[in-house]
Structures are given as C-alpha cells and as structure tokens.
Structure 1
Amino acid sequence: MWHRDEASADSRVTSPPRQRGAPTPRSTILSTKSRTVKTLTAALALPLALILGACSSSAAPAASGDAASTGTVKIGVVGAGDPYWETFTEAAKEEGIDVEIVDFDSYDQPNPALSAGELDLNQFQHIIYLATYNVASGDDLVPIGATAIYPLGLYSTKYTDVADIPAGETIAVPNDESNQARALLVLQSAKLIELKDGGSVFSTTADIEPGSKVKVEAVAADFTASSLPDFAGAVVNNDFVAKSGLTSDQLLAQDDPSDPAAFPYINIFAARAADAENPTYLKLVKIYQETQAVQDGVLKASGDTA
C-alpha cells in the first residue's frame, strides 16, 4: 500500500513499453523498493527525534490561557470502548479541557480525518505507521507524545503451539506496510518463515524465502482476527484482540516490546504540523502519561503487556 512515485517528469527514463502481462524487471522492483526504503527512513528520522526529545524533557508544557477556550478537542482512536478512554476524558475535564473520543473501525481512517480537520488529534498508531502514511499521502502529521508499545502477537484457534502448525499451512498478516513488516518478523522469530537478508522494518511478503515452513496471506488489519477460521493462525494487532474475544490461551508467539528494536513501534499522539506546539494538546498528552488511573487502564486493556 501507499507507494508514491516522487520522480519528476524531467527525471523519467524513456524505455520501450512493456507488453501487457510481462513481468516487471527485477532491477525495476529493487530500484523502486530501494527508493521507498530511503524515503521512509528519512521520514522516520524526524518522528524518532521528536519522541526522543519529548521523552528526555521533564518540563511540562506551558498553557496559554484557559485550555477549554479552544472548545472540545476531538481525538480519533481505534477502540474507544476501552474503559481508560473514559478515565482520560474525566481527567482532562478536571483540568478544564473537554475531550470527545471519536472511534474508527480501521487504521486507514484516522489519519485522513486528522488531515482534513475532522479531528484535532489521533492516538492509534506507532511511529513507523505514521511515517509510512506521510510518505504515501504527502501529509505532514507529527507525533507530539508517546503512549506505549504494544506487543504484536500470532494467534490461532486451531493450534496451541507454534510447533503444531503443519508445513504448508497459511498465516494471515496485516496488509499495511508497517504492520506487515512487523508481523513477518514475528513469524520469523517463531521459525515459521525466513526473510531475505534477515528481514527489517521494511520487509514485505515478497521477501519471504521460498523454503519457508508456512505460506502468508495479507489481509486488512481489522479482518485478521475474524479470518482466523480460514487460516492456521493470524498476526493480530492489539486493538483487535480484545474486541474479537481472543485470549492469551490462543496466543502462540509475540514480539518483545521491551527490546530496543521495538522503539519504532511506540504508539503516539499525532497532530497536524501546525499544531505541534499547541499547549492544550501537549497538556492532554501529559494528562494521559501522568494519570495513574489511565496508565493502569492501558495496562489492563493490553493484558498487562503494554
């Protein structure tokens, strides 16, 4: 998803037209992927720097005037049913800020809504997802505060151990680039697949080595859990685990959120670039991070894994 050709007309290379159905030359595929990886790497550097700066600063954001004077702050999320959001809105209200939590069904909705001005903030994605979105869309959304790292897990309703999954079976993974790469790394750590060059945060299903134990099929992230009856297993994002009724008994493998390699998967509050220093929004981040009841709720909702 979301590859964007950023070459200008002047830089295009003239070549004979390719016949319909003819395979794309491998050199073209590699060149396109290389450009995409370089662009994503550059896009990822700024969010990482912003989050590092925010985490290293102990100073509270200074509020200018009455926070409530800006009106109700709309925050887009995926999973508004989690009880900690009510706790958060109550804590914000005590600080004079009215918050409306706007729920979305899938990951592809909150960022366009934020860009269009339908939201003031969103909180559903990790840094890599945001960087990928910005590169693909040309938008300039920015992280203004970190929340948590949630593990990504492989679930199954047919098998109770990774070793029990027969060779040749198929595993479902999210089809968006950032979560797909992370899911593939989970499957590789479980020894179900092997990725070219060891894999990375930019891996795709095209990087799966032919000799891998299982096959992999990419589906929309919000359908991974519901598709479990059709697959040997599925890598399911945290937002869809609880609402689909999955339990830890059905969890076969997951990545380690405490591993430094998981840092790019820190979930964040995102805002439009023009609002990066908005004192009300920064105060909301601080309320989320420092209200113990909110943090306890986040931990409970994640099954003590966040």
Structure 2
Amino acid sequence: MLLKKFVPALALGIAAVLAGPVHAEKLSVAATPVPHAELLEHVKPILAKEGVELDIKVFTDYVQPNQQVADGHIDVNFFQHQPYLDSFNKEHGTKLVTVGLVHVEPFGAYSTKIKNIADLKEGALVALPNDPSNGARALLLLQKEGLLKLKDPSNILATSRDVVENPKKLKFRELEAATLPRVLPDVDLALINTNYALEAGLNPLKDALFIEGADSPYANIIVTTPAKKDDPAVKKLVQALNSADTREFIKTQYKGAIVPAF
C-alpha cells in the first residue's frame, strides 16, 4: 500500500525536476510618465500572466530613453513618434526600429494670457519644442491655424527659418519640450506635447486653444534594437498594448486627450 502511494509521488517529483523552475522573462521599458508609463502599468499584470516581468524605467527627457536602448541598457522604449525616431537615428547614428503603434497624442497650443487665438497680438512670443521633429510639428500646426506659412507646407523637419509668411510678426523661442508648461506665464503661446501637458495638469480638450485632429500622423511607437525586434517578450508587449482591453482603457482614462492608433 505504501509503495502504491510512493510511486505516483516519485513520478510527480521527477517531472517537476525535469521541467525546472518557471522563471518570468524580464523586459525593461523606458517611458515618459504620462501616459506612457501609465499604459505600461496597465498591461503589467497581463504580461505577468504570460511570463513577462515588465520593468518600467521612467524618464522625463526625450534623449536618454533612446540612448539607453541603443546602448543595450534597456530593452525597449515607449515615448516618441516616428519622425522623432527618424531624426534621432540620423543625428546619433543609431539604428533603432519601430515594432508597434499605440496611440496618438494630439499636439496643442496653450496660453495663460488669451482665451481665443483671435486675440493673439502682433509680435507675440511663441514657445516651440527645440527638437527638430516636434518643432516642425508645432510650426505645421500654426500653419494649419492660418498663423504662418512655411516654404514647404509639408516639411516635417521645418524650422522657424522656413517661415515665409508671418502676418502677426510672431517671435519664436525654442525650448526643451519638458519645460514648455512651466514657461506658459512668460510667453503668449506655447505649443506643448500632450504627455507634458497632461503631466502639468492641463486638459488638452478643454485647455488647448487649438489642437491636432485624431488623424495626426504622429502616432506614439514602441521602439527597440534590430536584435530584439523579434524577441517573444517584445511581441507580447506589443500585443498587450494593442489589445481591446488597452483600447478601452485609453478611451476611459484619457477621454479623448489621447486616442488609440491601432
């Protein structure tokens, strides 16, 4: 009788030893706080059930997340759009690649001095992001609003030097994107990335004087190195961020301030 009980138990023990311990695969992701890190926190429990332990590294700038991935210190990042990545790769000689689209953050214009863009005075000081892709994005939005005209109306890397018509004689100040919400009291208008607007407590739908439409081509992307683009853990991350559950979370949590791009 004792032998009958011992044999099945022994078999189970051997099977467990042969199978070995179950370890979750770690995946580090660099992200800016809002909404990127929040979206990653949302999918973290889902990925844990699929054997992926998500390690979220929060950054407040637009350079280190790419540099850390390029240098192999972090596996993936989630904070930028394709024009910014293209510009970064060209400027820094990196070869980072996109593995998925997640959401669009409609870019907006904000002011603490006026309530309507029609009230923007001649010679007004306008703050723009100082990185090439977002600076051009700001100028394209100003052009769409009829405030200026660019030499090439579709140039996604335009600078203030490409402005050929400026009827209000606007003056431009190019600043680090993260600082733009803080300089609002010192300028007449600031063009601010939605992630930084949200962090500063601004509601893009209510507080922006004008804003990009949901058809913006600047979808935020998941980025990694060519060596890791086919990694199973990376693919699981993309699937989780592109799931119906995440789509519903975006709609409920951000109420149109950001919109799904999948």
Gapped runs of 5+ residues in structure 2?
1-19
d(CA) in 1 for partners of 2:40, 2:100: 16
1:199 positional shift? 4.5
1:279 is aligned to 2:235: no
- Alpha-carbon deviations, 1:143-178, whole Å to 9, x = none? 011111221100111111110110110110100000
Aligned to 1:232: 188
1:85 positional shift? 2.7
- Using structure 2 for the length normalisation, give the TM-score: 0.84
- Alpha-carbon deviations, 1:182-234, whole Å to 9, x = none? 11011111222221232421211111226341222110000111110110110
From 247, 255, 261, give the equivalent of 1:295.
247
From 205, 213, 237, give the equivalent of 1:256.
213
From 105, 111, 115, give the equivalent of 2:70.
115
Kept after mapping to 2: 8 A contact 1:188/1:194: yes
Q: CA RMSD in A?
A: 2.0
Kept after mapping to 2: 8 A contact 1:194/1:212: no
Gapped runs of 5+ residues in structure 1?
1-65
d(CA) in 1 for partners of 2:198, 2:49: 29
Runs of 4+ in 1 over 3 A off after TM superposition: 68-71, 80-84, 299-303
1:80 positional shift? 5.6
Aligned to 2:126: 171
Aligned to 1:60: none
Q: Which amino acid aligns with 2:33?
A: G
1:78 is aligned to 2:32: yes
d(CA) in 1 for partners of 2:254, 2:192: 13
Identity, in percent, stands at 29
Distance change (3 Å), C-alpha of 1:225 and 1:205: same
Kept after mapping to 2: 8 A contact 1:142/1:276: yes
Q: Which amino acid aligns with 1:181?
A: A
Q: How many residues align?
A: 235
Distance change (3 Å), C-alpha of 1:69 and 1:205: farther
From 181, 188, 192, give the equivalent of 2:147.
192
Kept after mapping to 2: 8 A contact 1:80/1:103: no
